[in-house]
Structure 1
Amino acid sequence: MPGGFDWIGFLIAVAIIELTPGPNMGWLAALTLREGKKPAFAAVAGIATGLSLQLAAAVTGLTALIISAPGLHQLLHWAGVAFMLWLAWDAWKDGGSVALVSVGQERGFRRGLIANVLNPKALAFYVLLINQFVRTDAGLPIWAQSLILGLIHLTVATLVHAGIVLVAGRAGDGLERWRTSVPARLTFALMLVAIAVWLALTPPRS
């Protein structure tokens, strides 16, 4: 990757997004409490597999789009800003996960895989956020930069999801109460807004 690549900015953005309370966090915590760590870790593997498929689709699609329409880079930049603001709103309004009602009906790997393969938010993340950090003038092709960044996100996401299972096994219902509390939702929403503002003030990389 180019020497001027903003590793710290990317890692901070990814960490905040993955630590923000959301459906995966609530579902994994509930699954751990109801069925134990074994099916919950299987679900983590399913989520990682689903995200990997989304990453593969995004890497090939993003490369094709930028090559075929150079002006799209600017459009994707502002779409990425809007996406971060949408994530902030989504984090704030999440007062409880409806997925908890039916979590006992589905198991581990298959549920995690299907939920994330069919999740448009995951594909939007790989297309829109990664675009903020790739450089068309770098030594590596766009697809290679996107793949590296996507794999970094996949690693962070898997570590966070595994951590949720471990914490839920110890904290019990306390994790769900914290996840849906106003201070937690407000804090993460404001952090996501801050990322959106930072991206908006950072010129698109070309």
Structure 2
Amino acid sequence: MSDVFSGSLAAFALTSLVIEMTPGPNMAYLAALSLSQGIRAGLAAVVGVALGLSVFGAVAALGLSAVIDNSPLLYEVLRWGGVVYLLWLAWEAWAKEAETAPEKAGDPDVHPALAFRRGLITNLLNPKAAVFYVAVLPDFVQPDRGSVAMQTLALSALYVGIATLVHLVIVLLASRLHKVVQTPDKRRTIRRVLAVALAAIAVWFAFSTAR
């Protein structure tokens, strides 16, 4: 039985890794933020995203994620809230590009607390995170091994850990490029590109999460 359980955990870990390696709002936001603002802001956002995933895990353990998945209204509210928020981030990035003109001193830093809050909100407004806990995670719960709620929390912790490692790699790679774009001209160009990218991701997110 222990071999079966270990195999189930390994399969869940691999599934979680594949899912997290698939481009999505979290990955795009973390890369864009770290590239334009550096590692401190990126790491703060990673913590926010991890907290958001943990919240969904706790909600799943209480059985509430199924309510979100089965309620068209709640699902659509989350879905469109996420789309609007991504578009707002894109607009903000574009609107502030004037602050990176050559005559300016450079981009104003995003405070880690703000990056944390944005990472948290971006994740909480992602209905695909809730759906993961409804459509994927339950397949790896084994009722004959004890409390379903405790197993759900344990698997959620494993998923959050894997997701956080993937996000840390993204932040570290993107923040290394941040040093290459320190000049105002380059940072202005990067802001414009990232603003367009965030807007495109918002449109893709709207279509990919449609039911």
Give the TM-score, by structure 2 length. 0.60
1:152 aligns with 2:155: no
Q: 1:10 aligns with which of 12, 34, 48?
A: 12
User: Could you say which residue in structure 1 is the equivalent of 2:120?
Assistant: 113
3-state secondary structure, aligned to 2:144:
coil
3-state secondary structure, aligned to 1:4:
helix
1:124 aligns with 2:131: yes
Aligned residues of 1:54 and 1:122 also touching (Cα < 8 A): yes
CA RMSD of aligned residues (A): 3.2
Q: Name the aligned partner's letter for residue 167 of structure 1.
A: L
Q: 1:119 to 1:113 in 2, by over 3 A?
A: same
* Counterparts of 1:63 and 1:145, CA distance in 2: 15
Q: 1:41 to 1:136 in 2, by over 3 A?
A: same
Identity between Structure 1 and Structure 2 (%): 43
Aligned residues of 2:56 and 2:65 also touching (Cα < 8 A): no
* Counterparts of 1:63 and 1:119, CA distance in 2: 12
* Counterparts of 1:112 and 1:164, CA distance in 2: 14
Q: 1:24 aligns with which of 26, 43, 68?
A: 26
Query: C-alpha offsets along residues 121-142 of structure 1, whole Å, 9 cap, x if unaligned?
Result: 111111221111111222x211
User: Could you say which residue in structure 2 is the equivalent of 1:94?
Assistant: none
* Counterparts of 1:156 and 1:103, CA distance in 2: 30
Shift of 1:101: 2.2
Number of matched residues? 146
Q: Which runs of 5+ in 2 are unaligned?
A: 71-85, 97-109, 179-189, 198-211
Q: Which runs of 5+ in 1 are unaligned?
A: 66-75, 80-96, 181-206
1:133 aligns with 2:122: no
Larger Rg: 1 or 2?
2
User: Could you say which residue in structure 1 is the equivalent of 2:51?
Assistant: 49
Shift of 1:49: 0.9
Give the TM-score, by structure 1 length. 0.61
Shift of 1:170: 2.8
* Counterparts of 1:16 and 1:42, CA distance in 2: 24
Query: C-alpha offsets along residues 141-184 of structure 1, whole Å, 9 cap, x if unaligned?
Result: 111111111100000011111110001123568xx9xxx9xxxx
Aligned residues of 1:31 and 1:103 also touching (Cα < 8 A): no
Q: 1:25 to 1:60 in 2, by over 3 A?
A: same
1:164 aligns with 2:153: no
* Counterparts of 2:116 and 2:19, CA distance in 1: 22
User: Could you say which residue in structure 2 is the equivalent of 1:101?
Assistant: 90
* Counterparts of 2:130 and 2:175, CA distance in 1: 30
Aligned residues of 2:60 and 2:133 also touching (Cα < 8 A): yes
The structure with the largest helix share of the pair is 2
